[in-house]
Structure 1
Amino acid sequence: MRRVATGLLVAMASLFLLARHMAPAHPGWGWALSFAEAAMVGGLADWFAVTALFRHPLGLPIPHTAIIPENKDRIADSMAAFLRANFLTPQVVARRLGAMNLAAMAGDFLAAPRGGPSRLREGGADLLADVLEALDPEQLGAMVKGGLRTQLEKLDLAPLLGQMLAAAIADRRHLAVLESLLHWAGLTLEANEGMIRALIHDRANAVLRWTGLDERLANAILDGLYKLLAECMVDPNHPLRRKAEEGLETLARDLAHDPATQARVAALKGELLANPAIAAWLDAMWERLRAASLRALRDPSGALSGPIGEAIGRASGELGQALRDDPHLQRLVNRFARRTLVGTAHRYGDQIVRLVSETVKGWDSSTVTTRIEGAVGRDLQFIRINGTLVGGSVGLLLHAADVLL
């Protein structure tokens, strides 16, 4: 549009030169000359006016030009005051909301047979995913890990472990652990039998090795260990098992009531939390959790699916039907919405418009110029075109008055 307006101005200048040259040849060229001359004046005047809004014409610091860049702070305050006075007053908000049935609109959306609940579910999933992506991963991760570490530091771990162990012993759930330990001990002994034989052989004196008694001693020791483990596994009342159970009971009691044991557990917990390996494990766990959450939320078929998604769908459908069909509920919801939004406009209207004002003030002059000119620049170029044509028309009228009068 700028090129069209400038091209029209250049055409008028060309017509002016041509008409001025041809004026002696015929009186009709005087009409063209008057039209072109006045059109140039109108086009140049409107070009100056339009350009002066956004910049200095031809780069010259003419007073009262580049109006928008030079006064952007005042414009920002004026915009904020306009919004506050005409849109964010309690009266305007209440009048606008009074003509709207928000409850029925929400009910129609939620109870829609096609995609109402699914839209709600997918919209909620997209919102959660957008929030998760918008937040800085490092800062959010630091907050999550810091909160988890703080809670772990506050946790009194020893009494909790003591209660859990005591409950497991009371329910006889510790027996499976003991049997697993005995089974593991048997497999470990079998896997390291050669090492045990070599150890006994190295520790035996020369006489035992010469007579071969070291091998018999090794066999006797291994057979005794295998027999002891087998008896412990078969006999629930074996003395070794009873000793292990007594040790577990003592440990549970000390964890719950012994300050020294509790202090040792707390010190061990502090060492674990201070270990760099734990920090690396927390970092990896957070990254896996964040990535898995984003994949689940961005999956259209799996976003908030399962029992949670089904519950959301059923609840939203029932709520939508109630909002759509129950006039009493509509009145209650609409009244609550009006009071809430009117109160929000009253309490936070100044902060909202201040956000507009401070945002515009924070832009640099070129940004303000570019954005405003991009929004209304096309219409401003029409002003230049119209000024050129209107100026030419006035020139014709003046020429006609001069000729006829």
Structure 2
Amino acid sequence: MNLPPPVMATAAPGPAPTPALRPDALSAEDARKAQALRKMKTVATLLLVFAAVVFLIAKINEDRGTWVGYVRAIAEAAMVGALADWFAVTALFRHPLRIPIPHTAIIPKRKDEIGRSLGNFVESNFLTADVIDERLRGARIGERAGTWLAQPANAARAGDAVSDVLRGALEVLDDREIQQGLEHLIESRVRATPVTPLLGKAIDLTVEGGHHQRLLDAVLVGVGGFLDDNRSTFRQRLDEESPWWVPEPIDNRVFNKIYTAVSSFLEDVANTPDHEVRDSVDTRVAALAERLRADPELHAKGEAFKDEMLDHPEVRRWIDSLWTEAKRGMISAADDPDSELRVRLVNSLQQLGARLADDPEMQHKIDRWVSDALAYLVENYRTEVSDIIASTVEKWDGESTAEKLELQVGRDLQFIRINGTIVGGLAGFVIHAIGQLL
């Protein structure tokens, strides 16, 4: 936790109070810890003062009885224990009484080593594949994720998140690089694909499905309509081409005869599935497909036509616009909650959640995938976490580091001073008693 350094006072053997920490520089939790630390320092210091007062009184009245010697010995040893433990606790964070005694102010002096050791400790004992796997084994991530996604509102929230990720990814991509890559991909694939064999295959598929006959039917209907629409034009053209000496009734009979014959032929072909014209079309179409696959001359012409098309300015502009239009469409769809993309995405996520919630095998796969992914990250990047801890501690100055740590553990360390006072007094009583016995 990167907190502003609290203003701490040097613990001293005397009863001087500890200056108040700045409450505006601490969070509510750290302010509570600072208050508890001040309270425990006061208690430990008052015990030392109490032992000193008792020692002075006992020393002055030592001649009044044997029991007074015991009190003096207890108070004297309690002061020694309190002072020794005060020195030990204070030496962790600063120089006692601001005197640069060797091997004191350990944390400020060795904060870099402490940071590296802490990082290595976390890396070795927490960031391991076994620890991650053990922690995730009972988490049931797959089942929980499926149950959560199965709810429509949650699926909509997940869809919003996926759309945000998609939009963000599209916006940060280098359009020029993507466009060049897309253009190269399309052009290389088209140039590498022979045109005429592809056309031959398309014709084969058309013949197999009978589509060419339907096309012929459409052509026959179109030709018949064309003849009907332009009958007067054809009749006028016959007048222009006929000799001047041929009577008009004869021209009319000739024209009607030809027109009727052509119309009848078209109608006959259209209404006869096995007409010889249709058979001829089948034969010629099959022959064309074979030529497209095997004729080198047609192959060369097809490749030349393909190259000409790819080099055409309009085609180049169309290829260049593919990524821009696709990106614009995807961003617009990602922003619109009612777009088909968003609706399909939310529905897919909800269906995935419902299936995942009821499929133990899929749940196991998800759990295993998450565990393997985290284990991979931990095994390959846990050193980064250790380096972050070490580098962060290195950026702190020594005094701030000591104050941060004292704020976190200082209250518990004050119990060492209290225990030292009590244990020292008991030790003084035992030692004095042994001396009296001897």
Normalising by structure 2, we get a TM-score of 0.50
Runs (5+) with no aligned partner, structure 1: 1-81, 354-405
Q: Does 1:340 align with 2:376?
A: yes
Corresponding residue for 1:236? Answer: 273
Q: Which of 167, 176, 179 does residue 129 from structure 1 map onto? A: 167
Matches within 5 A, 1:15-54: none
Partner of 2:228: helix, strand, or coil? helix
Q: Would the aligned equivalents of 1:110 and 1:117 in 2 still touch at CA under 8 Å?
A: no
Corresponding residue for 1:261? Answer: 298
Corresponding residue for 1:296? Answer: 333
Cα distance in 2 for residues equivalent to 1:276 and 1:330:
50
Matches within 5 A, 1:38-117: 91=124, 93-94=127-128, 101=136, 104=140, 108-112=144-148, 113=151, 115-117=153-155
The one-character-per-residue Cα deviations of 1:25-44 (angstroms, maximum 9, x if unpaired) are xxxxxxxxxxxxxxxxxxxx
Q: Would the aligned equivalents of 2:200 and 2:292 in 1 still touch at CA under 8 Å?
A: yes
How many percent of aligned residue pairs carry the same amino acid? 19
Shift of 1:334: 5.6
Corresponding residue for 2:214? Answer: 176
Structure 1 range deviating more: 89-98 or 224-233: 89-98
Corresponding residue for 2:240? Answer: 202
Cα distance in 2 for residues equivalent to 1:216 and 1:265:
48
Cα distance in 1 for residues equivalent to 2:282 and 2:323:
39
Cα distance in 2 for residues equivalent to 1:131 and 1:215:
76
Q: Does 1:222 align with 2:265?
A: no
Corresponding residue for 2:189? Answer: 151
The one-character-per-residue Cα deviations of 1:100-127 (angstroms, maximum 9, x if unpaired) are 6496567545532463333333322332
Partner of 1:206: helix, strand, or coil? coil
The one-character-per-residue Cα deviations of 1:58-116 (angstroms, maximum 9, x if unpaired) are xxxxxxxxxxxxxxxxxxxxxxxx99x959x9547449968964965675455324633
Shift of 1:218: 3.9
Structure 1 range deviating more: 243-252 or 275-284: 275-284
Partner of 1:111: helix, strand, or coil? helix
Cα distance in 1 for residues equivalent to 2:340 and 2:220:
46
Shift of 1:345: 1.3
Cα distance in 1 for residues equivalent to 2:207 and 2:281:
12
Normalising by structure 1, we get a TM-score of 0.53
Corresponding residue for 1:279? Answer: 316
Q: Would the aligned equivalents of 2:269 and 2:275 in 1 still touch at CA under 8 Å?
A: yes
Corresponding residue for 1:56? Answer: none
CA RMSD of aligned residues (A): 4.5
Shift of 1:310: 3.2
Structure 1 range deviating more: 296-305 or 102-111: 102-111
Q: Would the aligned equivalents of 1:108 and 1:320 in 2 still touch at CA under 8 Å?
A: yes
Shift of 1:180: 1.4
Shift of 1:234: 1.0
Cα distance in 2 for residues equivalent to 1:319 and 1:265:
52
Residue identity matched to 2:220: L
* Structure 2 CA distance for partners of 1:255 and 1:333, relative to 1, 3 Å: closer
Structure with bigger gyration radius = 2
